[in-house]
Structure 1
Amino acid sequence: MDLEKPTAEARQPERQSEGCLVVAIRIPVRIVVLVLVVPVRMVWDGLVAGGRLLTDAVLRPLGRALAWVARAVLVWPFVGLWRYVVVPLGKVLGRLGNALVVVPLVWLFRYVLTPLGHGIAWVFRGIGAGLGWVYARVLTPVGHAVLWVLRGLGAGATGLGLGAYAVAAWLVRYLIVVPAQWLYEWILTPVGKAVAWCARGVGLLLSMVITGIGFVLYWVLRLLLVLPAIALWRWVLTPLGRALAVVGREVGAALGHAWRIAGHISLAVGRFLGTLLRWIFVEPVRWVYRTVLTPVGHVVRDAVLRPAAEAARSVGRVTRQVLAAARDSARQARADFRRMLFGEPKEEVAVDRREPGGADGRTLGSSTTALTKD
């Protein structure tokens, strides 16, 4: 597969295949569309820039502030209410419900209802056992005796009624069944076949008539509707659609080119306006800040602020020294007053201790213990 870009010679036949009508339509359409699209594109770019500025400078900070306010007003109180009120209250209510409801119900079920249910089940089991004994020992023998009596009575009645049954069967066979069979074989079957043959003939005739009518209607509709519609589609609508497709394609291409050219024009106008605003507003302000405010600020810093800071630091150091001297004097005066009232404090008498104090205590890991000392 050839992945190289087509050269100018390869693209030339496609370009030459376009007729003069397409070229004649293309140039005016592109000019008109460019004139119409440039203001729209400039307005669109202005709206986009304004929307971005509004979003970055107003809407996003406002949204963050509103989100923080909503969180502080709606979320945090409910979280605190849930965490410090509802959850502890729910735990307390759960414990109270367990102690006041669940435990008594469990005790009632375990020590009252369960033994009572066992007693009732034992009573019903006894009643069922009694009824089973009555059914097995009383009702079953009585039923067997009644069934034996009925069987004997039925056998006697059967012996008496065999003759009457045979006579009734012979009469039904030769008075009803045999005439009905003869009527079906010799009358109803030929009549049914004749009716079926007539119905098939009528159906064939109707199918031929309907087929002829459908053939005539098919050609009438074909000549009156289908062929004119095919001719209209082939010789009118198809060329018109191709022409409209060419016009629509050229209009779409013109809109795309005009939109891109308008974008470049809008970008150039925006850069020009930005440069103009920079030279009118930003550069004078920058020049004033750099040539006027910065030297003045340096002068104020070197001539006023730094000496004032040094003076403030000197005053602070002097104040701290004065306060330290005052504290020492007050401390010495309190010590002299205490010595004058209560006398000199007694000196502590040194006591001979067996164990050394502080870091000189015995350790098992040291080599100066009683066990390891030479």
Structure 2
Amino acid sequence: MDLEKRTARQPVEPSAEPTAGQTAGRQQTPVRQQAPVRQQTPEGQQTPEGCLAVVIRIPVRIVVLVLVVPVRMAWDVLVVVGRFLTDAVLRPVGRALLWVGRAVFVWPWVALWRYVVVPVALGLGWLGYRLLVVPVVWVYRYALTPVGHAIAWVAAGIWGGVVWVATGLWAGVVWVARGVWAGLGWLYRWTLAPLGRGVAWLARGVGVGIAAVAVALFTAVAWLVRHLLVVPVVWLYRYALTPVGHAVAWVARGVVRLVRMIFAGLWLGVYWTLRVLLVLPAIAVWRWVLTPVGRLLVVVGREIRDALGHAWRVAGRISLVVGRFLANLFRWIFVEPTRWVYRTVLTPAGHFVRDAVWKPVAAAGRAVGRTTRQALATARESVRQARAGVRSALFGQPTRPPSVHGREPRAAETRTLGSSKTALTKD
């Protein structure tokens, strides 16, 4: 049992200088291209292990093997028992329960559907068709359809009259509208148009006068607003508000710089305080305490995991050996003696009983059954003949229907030159 990890084998590099035998072989045999030697990548190489891993590995594997072997053997026993129960108990019981469930829940509903619901539905459908569909179709075909045709004919006549009257009325309305439109056109052309042109000429003159007065007033008001409002406001903004704004902005910039310097100093103080009191101790604890402890726990966990896997595989081998030993012991103690008894004792005894007892008894039973069937057939035939004799004596012989040679109609014979059935004269 290998309890230590084997180091990866390093590939053997071929020597650069060929020997004399190799030179002679090269001269006699054709030159073959050598396969490139695969160099092991750094990822595939096994990382070097420390002394702690080597010291921990062997005790951990021994302890884990001692603990895992009973568990693995119990697990294998449970697996075997579970398979036996599944094949011998659960599967037959499941099939029986499935059959019982089908017989109790499925087959009654299928029989009810097939022999009750479907016939009742077909009967109701036939009854509904005969009592509802057929009368409705008859009423529609022989009552509603003629009445509808008559109503449609009357409505077509009424609609034709209405269309004729409406056409006449529309022609009269169109003629009156044309006359009214001609009168309105004459009134617009010779009365309203000249009157509108005169009103437009007067409005144009009044508009020109109003526009001249408005331009003069706007010019005067603009001159007054410029010299009384705009010029003083511009002078006030340029020589009073602008210097005051510059002074206020300079003071505000100074205040902002002062506040920024104060907050920067406070931030530097808080930053270095937190760094010295929290960050540097946390880094030291992480680097010099947590990291070594974590590496130790990783090594221990990896070794325990490998030990569990190795112990589980070894326990499987041990359990397999123990199981085979128990199976062979059971076969030697129970199966082989039972097989020997069956072959050497029970089989000859069974053959003797079959040949000396069962076969003669079966032959005698078949002979008795054959004789009984023949006697019953003879008695049945005698009774049938007696009944026929009594019937003929009381009622006479029954009349037999005339025998008919063929049920199918006979085909016409083929026409010949001498036959009377031709294309022009047929019988």
Classify the TM-score, shorter chain. Answer: 0.5 to 0.7
The amino acid that maps onto 2:323 is G
What CA distance in whole angstroms lies between the structure 1 residues aligned with 2:120 and 2:412? 60
In the alignment, what sits opposite 1:214?
A: 267
2:88 to 34, 49, 57: 57
1:196 to 249, 252, 261: 249
Q: How does 1:267-278 map to 2 (within 5 A)?
A: 267-278=320-331
What CA distance in whole angstroms lies between the structure 2 residues aligned with 1:344 and 1:72? 55
**Is residue 317 of structure 1 aligned with residue 351 of structure 2?**
no
Cα 1:318–1:203 change in 2 (3 A) is: same
In the alignment, what sits opposite 1:28?
A: 59
Deviation sequence 1:131-178 (CA, Å, 0-9, x none): xx9xxx9xxx9xxx9xx99x97x9699689947777666665555544
In the alignment, what sits opposite 1:293?
A: 346
In the alignment, what sits opposite 2:79?
A: 48
Of stretches 275-284 and 197-206 in structure 1, the one that deviates more from structure 2 is 275-284
Of stretches 61-70 and 202-211 in structure 1, the one that deviates more from structure 2 is 61-70
Q: How does 1:216-295 map to 2 (within 5 A)?
A: 216-295=269-348
**More RCO (CA 8 Å, sep 6+):** 1
The amino acid that maps onto 1:34 is L
Cα 1:164–1:91 change in 2 (3 A) is: farther
The amino acid that maps onto 2:92 is P
Cα 1:236–1:192 change in 2 (3 A) is: same
Identity of aligned residues (%): 57
Q: How does 1:168-207 map to 2 (within 5 A)?
A: 174-207=227-260
Cα 1:61–1:167 change in 2 (3 A) is: farther
The amino acid that maps onto 1:26 is R
The amino acid that maps onto 1:21 is L
Deviation sequence 1:268-295 (CA, Å, 0-9, x none): 2223333344444444443443333323
Cα 1:8–1:302 change in 2 (3 A) is: farther
What CA distance in whole angstroms lies between the structure 1 residues aligned with 2:295 and 2:255? 55
Which sections of structure 2, spanning at least 5 residues, go unmatched? Answer: 1-7, 13-39, 146-150, 156-176, 182-187, 189-195, 399-404, 406-410, 420-427
**Shift of residue 267, structure 1, vs aligned partner:** 2.0
The amino acid that maps onto 1:293 is L
Q: How does 1:148-163 map to 2 (within 5 A)?
A: 162=214
What CA distance in whole angstroms lies between the structure 2 residues aligned with 1:56 and 1:330? 59
Cα 1:79–1:256 change in 2 (3 A) is: farther
The amino acid that maps onto 1:270 is G
Counting matched residue pairs gives 309
Cα 1:211–1:20 change in 2 (3 A) is: same
In the alignment, what sits opposite 2:118?
A: 84
In the alignment, what sits opposite 1:120?
A: none
Deviation sequence 1:70-113 (CA, Å, 0-9, x none): 45555562896598399879989x9989x89xx9xxx9xxx99x
**Shift of residue 363, structure 1, vs aligned partner:** 8.1
So what's the TM-score if we normalise by structure 2? 0.54
The amino acid that maps onto 1:264 is R
The amino acid that maps onto 1:202 is V
The amino acid that maps onto 1:61 is P
The amino acid that maps onto 1:22 is A
The amino acid that maps onto 1:300 is V
So what's the TM-score if we normalise by structure 1? 0.60
What CA distance in whole angstroms lies between the structure 2 residues aligned with 1:75 and 1:166? 108
The amino acid that maps onto 2:118 is Y
Cα 1:78–1:158 change in 2 (3 A) is: farther
